[in-house]
Chains A and B, each alone.
Chain A
Amino acid sequence: MVNSNRILILFAHPALEKSRINRQLIQAVKGLDSVTVHDLYEAYPNFHIDVSFEQELLLAHDIIVFQHPFYWYSSPALLKEWQDLVLEYGFAYGHEGTALHGKKFLTSITTGGGEQAYQRQGYNRFTLRELLLPFEQTAYLCGMEYLPPFVVQGTHQLRESHQIAKHAEDYRTVITALRDNTINWESLRQFKHLNQSLAQVIRTPELPHHA
């Protein structure tokens, strides 16, 4: 495909064997063409991140995805360490730090609490988009376009396997559409979450292409 994007999914889950949702999500996108799944906890069990390798990976992709459970309103520790080390001054930001300019950035997170918890009146007091501001700002400083996050909420309530399977299918659809450039980039900005209304976000393949 002419317009295809190469996607790097930086996946961080310290206990994948206990995961119910993330395991299904990552399974759904593994093996897709032009999609690199990089399992950080598998690659760096002792937190010893290979910085130059990671930077080369970033350079080789167009869309960077952070996929992780939402721990204490942030990422698991290894992904934070990854940010601290890999997004170096002079590489990702600063005068000469333009390596990531023009790339797109997506967070894909799962939260235990439901949507009603992430409101002024909810026990988390802030919306998810507000709590994700550090990621949004990181993307901004690195010159990357921040996309509305892919969010699976209320995972504590998700009991039925078909509910989980639905999310996994949505994730695969989203990643495929990002790769194939069949996203309505303009209408995308009006949504809080990427998977809020997939029908409106993704162009149907029948429509004529205009690059």
Chain B
Amino acid sequence: MHSEDFFFQAFVYLVAAVLSVPVAKRLGLGSVLGYLIAGVIIGPFVLGFVGKEGSDVMHFAEFGVVMMLFLVGLELQPSLLWRLRLPILGLGGLQVTVTALVVAGLGVLYGLPWTMALAVGLILAMSSTAIVLQTLNEKGLMKTEAGQSSFSVLLFQDIAVIPILALLPLLAIKTSASVSLAAAEQTAEHSSALAGWQQALLVIGTVGGIIIAGRFLMRPVFRFIANTQLREVFTATALLLVIGIALAMQKVGLSPALGTFVAGVVLADNEYRHELETDIEPFKGLLLGLFFISVGASINFNLLIEQPLLILGVVFALILVKFAVLFGLGRFFKLELSQNLLFAFALAQGGEFAFVLFSFALQNNVLTAAVAGPLIAAVALSMMMTPLIMILHDQWVQPRFVTSAPQPEADTIDDNENPVIIAGFGRFGQVVGRLLLANGFKTTVLEQSPGQIEMLRRFGFKVFYGDASRIDLLRAAGAQQARLLVVAIDEREKALHIVDQVRKHFPHLKILARAIDRGHAYELIRRGVEVVEREMFGSALEMGVEALKLLGLRSYKAHRAGHTFKHHDEAALHELAHAMGEEKVLVARSRQLARDLEQLLQSDNQDLVHDVDRAWDTSVLRKDA
């Protein structure tokens, strides 16, 4: 492609996305529908800016799905995945089997040979991982029962693509010469040369390699990269990881999406997880958008105009059958009615894998173009319908369940979200974290020094590498779910910056902040930070108390004197913080501190000692008696 051409294409795609997605979101249609509509508009049947290269673009953009599954994997600890095994195998397995059989049955009734009907059934059983996960995420429904069930089914489908790819050639009208396991996009010359057991060994070896490398190799690699302190190199590493795995999986004939998903799960308890997440996220978002646009652009409206009844009939039959099967299975698996409806509506469409599988089936002579053409159009249309169906569901179906509407968030996913986030785990943050952990409160720690992370993890802390002043990182660390944020970093300006950002983006979080000195404390107090502790004050006070004891005061009196002093000083701190006008902030810090000290020393003398001495004092009593 010419570079000028390339820029023009990029320009068209970006303009379409930038214009249509915000409008769609504003209208409450969701981003997915916005992208799809943008695709239709720039596609060959409206403006015709893009089209010929549409399938190339889609092929490239499918990588967004791969990245999405990597991110999904990062969210899933292996233990959680293991807990979901029943819904994945049971619900997912039955969904694919039953849907495939029902669709195949309908196909035979319609007059297709059984081999074709079965192939079509298997292909149409797939739902759209991209659309469903994106839509559910956007609506914040991933953690509901319906969200988890949907995810389980989609995961099974992603896995099922591999055996389906293996099975399709066996259904060929004329058995194709090369029966291969390879993914459609590259009918593999090399893997067909291998015997079945060799192929199996290769697959197991590759997946095993990913798991072992993820467990043992990636941590030092990430640490090494992080030590360079160059963000873009870390981003490059993250991309390299995903692309490398995708390539390796394609080479051995597995779905790249599945491979990166496995890699994601393996890295889910890695301390660099949040950094990976935030680095990959924008790429995923853009590529997925591109993918949706290319789906919109690829809808063959000519076919639709030629055979409108057939295609629309197929679309509605497809949605109806999938909905009925999903709803029935949901009942069988005892989903609550409102959740079951959401689950069934969400997954009642054809998926992006259908495009891959259809073209694979065509190449292998399983289907004829006359059969596949309308079906491809129908799948694309059904994907386009999904956001609309979800809007109908939100508007008409869900309001009937108002009582059960506020779903309690499922515990299963929530347990990787800790109630406390500590930013900065140096000498200060460590004490806070250790105390909390010792009392059974789980904390997520954000720390920028890779050396410490390694060591702390050995002691069971949940430590992540990253800069806590980045909002996306805080979000990835669970700021949405957490209750407290402890800002324990030792950089004055950055601490204030974090406080401002968090106040804006996560107003529910209570903030506890480490103040470097009095001036810093004023700034923090004025920002309404719930708890402000001066880093030196506590220990200096303790030392003062010890000094009083060595000077001959009884311990309890010294202790009380210390506390009286502390109360007095903290009251003064808050008073001065609010009394100080903005213009005084400009006064040179040293002068201001000197004046403060003078004020403090004056008031220290007055009531302080009196308060301590008055307690348990009997001199007045004796005088009176």
Contact = CB atoms under 8 A, between A and B. Distances in A.
B563 A89 contact: no
B620 A90 contact: yes
A48 B563 CA distance: 7
Task: Bin the interface of chain B by size.
Answer: 10 to 19
Contacts of B611: 51
Contact of B563 (A46, A51, A88, A90): A46
Nearest to A49: B615
Interface string A89-103: 110001100000000
B624 A94 contact: yes
A147 B286 CA distance: 75
Contacts of B563: 46, 48
Interface in A71-110: 84-85, 88-90, 94-95
Given A46-B563, A48-B564, A84 B616 contact: yes
A90 B621 CA distance: 8
B620 A51 contact: no
B584 interface: no
Contacts of B567: 48, 50
A85 B556 CA distance: 14
A51 B621 contact: no
Contacts of B174: none
B290 to A, nearest CB: 55
A89 B621 contact: yes
B560 interface: yes
B614 interface: yes
A59 B77 CA distance: 59
Nearest to B556: A47
A90 B624 CA distance: 10
Interface string B583-625: 0000000000000000000000000000100111010110010
A46 B556 CA distance: 11
Interface in B264-291: none
A95 B560 contact: no
Contacts of B616: 84-85
A91 to B, nearest CB: 11
A82 to B, nearest CB: 12
A48 B560 contact: yes
Interface in B528-568: 560, 563-564, 567
A84 B618 CA distance: 12
A95 B624 CA distance: 8
Contacts, number: 22
A85 B615 contact: yes
A50 to B, nearest CB: 8
Contacts of A48: 560, 563-564, 567
Nearest to B622: A89
A46 B563 CA distance: 9
Contacts of A84: 615-616
Listed residue (B560, B564, B611, B615) with the most chain A CB atoms within 10 angstroms of its CB: B615
A90 B179 CA distance: 102
Nearest to A88: B614
Contacts of B624: 89, 94-95
Nearest to A84: B616
A84 B564 CA distance: 17
B89 to A, nearest CB: 43
A89 B621 CA distance: 7
Contacts of B560: 48
Contacts of A94: 621, 624
A84 B616 CA distance: 7
Interface string A149-186: 00000000000000000000000000000000000000
A85 B616 CA distance: 7
Given A89-B620, A90-B620, A94-B621, A51 B564 contact: no
Nearest to B611: A51
Interface in A17-56: 46, 48, 50-51
A92 B262 CA distance: 74
Contacts of A85: 615-616
Contacts of B614: 51, 88
Nearest to B621: A89
A17 to B, nearest CB: 12
Contacts of A88: 614
A84 B614 CA distance: 12
Contacts of B615: 51, 84-85
A52 B560 CA distance: 15
A157 to B, nearest CB: 31
Interface of A: 46, 48, 50-51, 84-85, 88-90, 94-95
Given A51-B611, A51-B614, A84-B615, 6 more contacts: A48-B567, A51-B615, A85-B615, A85-B616, A89-B621, A94-B624
Interface of B: 560, 563-564, 567, 611, 614-616, 618, 620-621, 624
* Top 9 closest pairs, chain A to chain B, by CB: A48-B563, A89-B621, A85-B615, A89-B620, A46-B563, A94-B624, A95-B624, A90-B620, A48-B560
17 contacts: A46-B563, A48-B563, A48-B567, A51-B614, A51-B615, A84-B615, A84-B616, A85-B615, A85-B616, A88-B614, A89-B618, A89-B620, A89-B621, A89-B624, A94-B621, A94-B624, A95-B624
